[in-house]
A = this chain, B = another copy of it.
């Protein structure tokens, strides 16, 4: 049996919200992420539970079943592959692709996904640095750290973002920060935790705590 566009979205969002530990997701959190009301979420949860895609007991929050997890990961794989296509092949900016990929991710066809993957050269990461699940559904989240956890003087490599909002990505563009950039933390302002950093050995700039919190980096 096929899952609808809407069902796939719920599963994807439950996956995202339950984090690496696979913890329970609340009705209200889902209502916010799906931009619907809690009552509507409850209805959908009953339905997904009936299909065996989630574990749901009234008032207890939900987790994905193994089957639901599978579906969610397939959707994520498609989303991220399409993002690579849009950026690498069509020339979109990394700040422009989310909404379009949100549509493309629901196009059904296993063979389409695999041919797209081959065409793109089996990329391992999407344009935001997020890992792309393989065809078997294995998704290994690399354990990057957030820039706020980097010591003064340390040099790290920018590997991804936590916030995917266009405005944030555009801000990074204007700051010259992109995937792969080497970031050296020069100084941290005690008062507001803003940081002075040097990008790719070039000029220094200040970045706010808000920005630091959304940058994923890796020690080199």
List chain A positions with a Cβ less than 8 A from chain B. Answer: 86, 89-92, 99-100, 103-104, 107-109, 112, 115-116, 118-119
Contact B112 A100 (CB under 8 A): yes
| A109 in complex: contacting residue of B100, B115, B116, B118, CB < 8 Å | B100
CB distance from A82 to the nearest CB of B (A): 10
Q: Contacts A90-B119, A119-B90 given: A108-B103 contact, CB under 8 Å?
A: yes
- Distance between Cα atoms of A133 and B161 in the complex (Å): 39
Contact B103 A115 (CB under 8 A): no
CB distance from A86 to the nearest CB of B (A): 8
12 A-B contacts (beta carbon < 8 Å)? A89-B119, A90-B118, A90-B119, A91-B119, A99-B109, A100-B107, A100-B109, A100-B112, A103-B107, A104-B104, A104-B107, A107-B107
Supply 8 further A-B pairs (C-beta < 8 A) apart from A90-B115, A90-B118: A89-B119, A90-B112, A91-B115, A99-B109, A100-B112, A103-B107, A104-B104, A107-B107
